[in-house]
Amino acid sequence: MSASFTLAEIAERCGAELQGDGSRRISGVETLDHAGADQISFFNHARYRKSLRETRAAAVILRPSDAADCPSNMLLTDNPYLVWARVTNCFAPLQVQEAGIHATASVDPNARIDAGAVVAAGVVIGAGAVIEANAYVGPNCVIGREVVLGQGSRLLASVVLMDRVRLGKNCLIHPGAVIGSDGFGLANDQGRWEKVAQLGSVVLGDNVEVGANTTIDRGAVRDTRIHDGVKLDNQIQVAHNVEIGENTAIAACTGISGSTRIGSGCTLAGGVGVVGHIELADGVHVSGASVVSRSLREPGVYTGGVLAMPHKVWQKNIARIKQLDSMARRLRALEKALAQSQDEQDSIKE
């Protein structure tokens, strides 16, 4: 983090309106509470207003409507978190790696590695693979046959791309991710399972991010498809034949079962489960740890589950779940009986 910019440079570069001393030197980012005289911070949520008022940051990114509470220089914007994203990237450590193939990498002679690509130590690349310009293949990654790694895409470390997987441009794949493993296709033969060969592949569009230890299975016949701009967090499981629409973001530990189609612009929070062979419309948002068991054809927020509570409260109440149907029936019976009793009472009164 040795980069340093003037505040005016940052405002210009990140698309915010400068208010204050543009010559102020900024050498890093910090939270409001910890920022010092050469650091920039951001304010995005009312609960941190006290921190804003007391910050010693050199500058703060915030909305014009919050400007009155800021004791410092400001970068004004309607989308502080977006400007913050851009500012953080100004200070991200430079990842300069010399282009070329490390001596310990094992590259098949029939693979085609662009001269501007980096192939790090311990990498293994199969026949027919194509590594495009400015692509980065980090230490100990394994790339199968006929894989295509698009321009500027990066596999950080120990990533496995199985045969024929294709990534677009500027994808970012975190360590331990496996793309193109076999889908879970099994036919039952009198109790024994026989494997269905998984003949499709996986295709990722451009600007896709895949988290650490996430797995994406290859399609059974056709390809599993992850469209442009999709962001997958860590430890997500994407089963065979799944399709995920553009700019959908999925948080960690979510599992998507086979042949399900998820629309574009969706968000799935952490730990979600989605059953197979269903469709989620564009703009569907699923709350954390919810299980989606049927197609959701309308955009909106969907939630399931019973959240944690003190154990004794849970124990006492959850035992009644198995009586719910009986309770509903008895409630209905009571309503009828009471109505009838009322009628009788009325007739007595008459």
Interface with its own copies by CB under 8 A: which range of 16-24, 59-67, 147-155, 197-205? 197-205
Q: How far is the CB of 176 from its own copies (least distance, A)?
A: 5
CB proximity list for 268: less than 8 A, separation 6 or greater:
248, 249, 250, 251, 254, 262, 274, 285, 286
Encoded one letter per residue, x for contact with its own copies by CB under 8 A and - for no contact, window 268-307 reads --xx-x-x----------xxxxxxxxx-x---xxxxxxxx
Q: Cβ of residue 32: shortest distance to its own copies, in angstroms? A: 10
In the window 251-270, what residues touch its own copies (CB under 8 A)?
251-253, 255, 257, 265, 270
Amino acid identity of residue 299, one-letter, is P
Instruction: Give 7 or 32: the residue with its C-beta nearer to its own copies.
Output: 32
In the range 98-137, which residues lie near its own copies by CB under 8 A?
A: 102, 104, 106, 120-122, 124
When binding is defined by CB under 8 A, the residue of 55, 158, 224, 260 that contacts its own copies is 158
Tokens 């977006």 sit on residue: 82
254: region left, alpha or beta (phi > 0 left; psi from -120 to 50 alpha): beta
**Is 285 tagged catalytic?**
no
Q: How far is the CB of 101 from its own copies (least distance, A)?
A: 13
Pick the binder of its own copies from 111, 119, 160, 244 (CB under 8 A).
160
Of 34, 102, 227, 240, the active-site residue reads: 240
Q: Are 100 and 123 in contact (CB under 8 A)?
A: no
Kindly identify the residues of this chain, within the stretch 302-341, that bind its own copies according to CB under 8 A. Answer: 302-311, 313-325, 327-328, 330-331, 334-335, 337-338, 341
Strands 25-26 and 5-6: antiparallel
Residues of span 224-243 touching its own copies by CB under 8 A = 229, 231, 233-235, 237, 239
Give the Cβ contact number of residue 300 at 10 Å: 10
**9 binds its own copies, rule: CB under 8 A:** no
Name residues whose C-beta falls within 8 Å of residue 200's C-beta, 6 or more positions apart in sequence.
183, 218, 219, 220, 221, 222, 223, 224, 240, 241
CB count within 10 Å of CB 170 equals 17
Residue 197 contacts its own copies per CB under 8 A? yes
Considering the complex, state which of residue 64 and residue 304 has its C-beta at the smaller distance from its own copies: 304
SS3 for 159?
coil
Closest CA to 173 of 247, 88, 231: 231
Amino acid at 302: Y
Measured CA to CA, the distance from residue 77 to residue 38 in angstroms comes to 21
Contact window for its own copies (CB under 8 A) among 48-56, 111-119, 128-136, 207-215: 207-215
Q: Which residues contact 303 (CB under 8 A, 6 or more apart)?
A: 286, 287, 290
- Binders of its own copies among residues 36 to 75 (CB under 8 A) are none
- Among candidate residues 240, 233, 241, the one with its CA nearest the CA of residue 214: 233
Residue (23 or 214) nearer to its own copies, CB: 214
Q: Compute the least distance from the CB of residue 71 to its own copies, in Å.
A: 20
Q: List, by residue number, the catalytic residues.
A: 240
